[in-house]
């Protein structure tokens, strides 16, 4: 079936999914136009160990990606597609990544046997007739073949063939494994295109910040999955009365390119949000709450028998008769909603969406933020000395793992640019591309690193986060304007305590000290870890990276061989 993306077609698919139990309708009074989907219990997150880059040369995938040759990949996975769609309908889903009519948008076509995938792609991309119109008579599109197969993790593979610009995915119906426009195309395949063509495909939110003067800044921020990109993108300013306002351009992916004015310009290739549900509440993210108040597909949240959805963090009153994410009566001990349960919703429904979110040329970027989830070591915020140092900071960022991918949660891993699971080629060559881009952008954005997740000795978060993160953004803007007090530390510029507007926050003096502290011993311990990480890349690692590490070691006054 060729999908045209129309309302009528969508309704037909929804009706079929209601009939076969793929979806259930939520209470129309509290969640109008919204549905619940329960995925297979073994198919609840991206599976990085089953995700492969199938470049001809192993070296082109690099040491951080799983690799198979194109020949081996096809030989191994083609049999899993054999008769996989038997008894199901095959849907042909043309889609556009990027605003319709934008010269930077790209067309994909996903073939799938999952109606749920079609319904999600309709929200997450510009899908159907507009995509065929954009393709016109051309033949430039990224083909993606998808089947849920038998949903067994033993017969699950997500393959990318960068030289052919082709995607094969079998055995999963979940998120980035199955909605091929998102991570597979807009990050893994797009990053390989971007490298060739002189632009960048990044795992970044894009936000708009308006100052009382009327001055507007756009900021990109890269955090690993489930580290608060959606919350930051939809931040409600606690200083709105004073004229500081934040709006949303995108929450997960940015396509960036140097503009004719020498600045870096960003487009959000997506049309919707596929956000983590737990932790989303009226206090943490009121804009997301309003966005998902209607016409939303929920996957793996808890629900009452009457169809009222619930999740940890929605409020403090779980309904008495709640069914957990698998549909079993909730025992009130474990999690009711799966920690990686998601909402799929159109970006246009977001009250904070920027009027410029679909601008064909994108928006000009003033600052790039990198960040991770770290209980210790990384201070609340620091500024890189310059572009190349910023690339080093981003390339070496560490973050504790989350439920967004299958595997152990809470272990620190190096996640360069939050792209570890999403870079379609050798990560060391990707560092080189970042360095090269620095020379192609006459007015590069300032680069910062943040850590909202610093804890005290008793494991309590020191920083209130969420809306209060605005205060950190304002310091960044002051730095860009040549103001903003800072002290130079071995890792970068850290705000002086009085340079951050902390009015009304009631943070103790010692909390502020810890938050802004750069502990020399902790950072000295990072050096050999970073060196070991770099060693994995051998000859592909740009010399600038080692030089930056040596310079850091020197500033920490340890010997380069430490």
Query: By CB under 5 A, how many residues form the interface with Mn ion?
Result: 2
Question: Cα–Cα distance between 313 and 291 in angstroms, integer?
Answer: 16
* Per CB under 5 A, 399 contacts Mn ion: no
- Residue 174 contacts by C-beta under 8 Å, 6 or more apart in sequence? 39, 43, 44, 45, 46, 299
Which residue has tokens 């054999």?
Answer: 82
Q: Which of 259, 264, 274 is nearest to 218 (CA)?
A: 264
In total, the chain counts a number of residues equal to: 562
Parallel, antiparallel, or unpaired for β 126-127 and 91-97? antiparallel
Residue closer to ligand SAT by CB (options 98, 238) is 98
Q: Which tokens belong to 106?
A: 């790209």
Residue closer to ligand SAT by CB (options 53, 530) is 53
Question: Cα–Cα distance between 394 and 384 in angstroms, integer?
Answer: 10
176 contact choice in Mn ion, ligand SAT, none (CB below 5 to 8 Å, kind-dependent): ligand SAT
* Per CB under 6 A, 175 contacts ligand SAT: yes
* Per CB under 6 A, 272 contacts ligand SAT: no
What does the per-residue mask of binding to ligand SAT show for 111-150, with x meaning CB under 6 A? ----------------------------------------
- Considering only residues 234 through 253, tell me which ones interact with Mn ion, judged by CB under 5 A: 252
* Per CB under 5 A, 225 contacts Mn ion: yes
Question: Cα–Cα distance between 369 and 382 in angstroms, integer?
Answer: 10
Q: Which residue is nearest to ligand SAT (CB)?
A: 176
User: Minimal distance in Å, beta carbon 201 to Mn ion?
Assistant: 12
Question: Which of 225, 354, 399, 406 forms a contact with ligand SAT (CB under 6 A)?
Answer: 225
Question: Cα–Cα distance between 489 and 308 in angstroms, integer?
Answer: 51
Residue closer to Mn ion by CB (options 225, 354) is 225
- Considering only residues 84 through 113, tell me which ones interact with Mn ion, judged by CB under 5 A: none
Stretch that binds ligand SAT, among 91-99, 125-133, 135-143, 175-183 (CB under 6 A): 175-183
* Per CB under 6 A, 285 contacts ligand SAT: no
115 contact choice in ligand SAT, Mn ion, none (CB below 5 to 8 Å, kind-dependent): none
Query: By CB under 6 A, how many residues form the interface with ligand SAT?
Result: 8
Distances (CA, A) of 59 to 69, 212, 343, 556: 11, 50, 37, 33
- Residue 287 contacts by C-beta under 8 Å, 6 or more apart in sequence? 234, 236, 248, 350, 351, 352
Q: What is the dihedral of CA 170, 173, 175, 181, to 10 degrees?
A: 50
* Per CB under 5 A, 202 contacts Mn ion: no
Residue closer to ligand SAT by CB (options 99, 175) is 175
User: Minimal distance in Å, beta carbon 274 to ligand SAT?
Assistant: 5
* Per CB under 6 A, 230 contacts ligand SAT: no
Active-site residues: which are they? Answer: 227
Question: Cα–Cα distance between 366 and 479 in angstroms, integer?
Answer: 11
Residues that bind ligand SAT (CB under 6 A): 46, 175-176, 182-183, 225, 274, 404
Contacting residues toward Mn ion, per CB under 5 A: 225, 252
């Amino acid at each position: 079936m060729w999908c045209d993306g129309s309302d009528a077609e969508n309704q037909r698919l929804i009706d079929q999914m209601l009939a076969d139990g793929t979806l259930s309708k939520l209470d129309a009074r509290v969640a109008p136009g919204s549905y619940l989907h329960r995925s297979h219990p073994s198919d609840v997150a991206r599976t990085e160990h089953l995700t492969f880059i199938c470049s001809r040369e192993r070296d082109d995938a690099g040491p951080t990606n799983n690799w198979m040759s194109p020949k081996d990949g096809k030989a191994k996975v083609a049999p899993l597609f054999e008769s996989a769609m038997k008894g199901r309908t095959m849907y042909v889903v043309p889609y556009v990544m990027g605003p319709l009519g934008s010269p930077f948008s790209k067309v994909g076509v996903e073939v799938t046997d999952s109606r749920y995938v079609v319904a999600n792609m309709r929200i997450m991309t510009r899908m159907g007739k507009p995509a065929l119109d954009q393709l016109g008579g051309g033949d430039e599109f990224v083909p993606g073949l998808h089947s849920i197969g038998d949903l067994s993790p033993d017969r699950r593979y997500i393959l990318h063939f960068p030289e052919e610009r082709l995607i094969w995915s079998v055995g999963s119906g979940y998120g980035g494994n199955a909605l091929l426009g998102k991570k597979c195309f807009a990050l893994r395949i797009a990053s390989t295109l971007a490298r060739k063509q002189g632009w960048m495909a990044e795992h970044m939110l894009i936000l708009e910040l308006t100052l009382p003067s009327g001055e507007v800044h756009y900021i990109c921020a890269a955090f690993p999955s489930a580290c608060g990109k959606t919350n930051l993108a939809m931040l409600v300013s606690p200083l709105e009365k004073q004229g500081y306002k934040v709006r949303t351009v995108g929450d997960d992916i940015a396509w960036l390119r140097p503009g004719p004015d020498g600045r870096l310009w960003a487009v959000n290739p997506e049309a919707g949000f596929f956000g983590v549900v737990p932790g989303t509440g009226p206090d943490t993210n009121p804009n997301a709450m309003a966005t998902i108040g209607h016409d939303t597909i929920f996957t793996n949240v808890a629900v009452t028998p009457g169809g009222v959805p619930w999740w940890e963090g929605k409020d403090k009153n779980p309904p008495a008769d709640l069914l957990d994410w698998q549909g079993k009566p909730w025992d009130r001990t474990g999690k009711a909603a799966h920690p990686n349960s998601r909402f799929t919703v159109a970006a246009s429904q977001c009250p904070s969406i920027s009027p410029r979110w679909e601008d064909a040329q994108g928006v000009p970027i003033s600052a790039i933020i990198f960040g991770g989830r770290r209980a210790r070591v990384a201070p609340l915020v620091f500024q890189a000395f310059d572009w190349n140092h910023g690339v080093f900071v981003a390339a070496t960022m560490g973050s504790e793992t989350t439920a967004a991918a299958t595997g152990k949660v809470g272990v620190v891993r190096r996640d360069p640019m939050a792209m570890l699971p999403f870079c379609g080629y050798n990560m060391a060559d990707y560092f080189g591309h970042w360095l090269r881009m620095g020379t192609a952008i006459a007015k590069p954005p300032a680069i910062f690193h943040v850590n909202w997740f610093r804890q005290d000795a008793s494991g309590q978060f020191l920083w209130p986060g969420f809306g209060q993160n605005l205060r950190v953004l304002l310091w960044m803007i002051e730095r860009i304007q040549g103001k903003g007090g800072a002290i130079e530390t071995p890792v970068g510029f850290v705000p002086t305590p009085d340079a951050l507007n902390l009015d009304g926050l009631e943070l103790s003096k010692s909390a502020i000290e810890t938050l802004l502290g750069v502990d020399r011993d902790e950072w000295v311990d990072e050096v050999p870890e970073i060196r070991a990480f770099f060693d994995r890349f051998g000859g592909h690692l740009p010399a600038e990276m080692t030089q930056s590490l040596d310079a850091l070691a020197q500033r920490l006054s340890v010997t380069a061989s430490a």
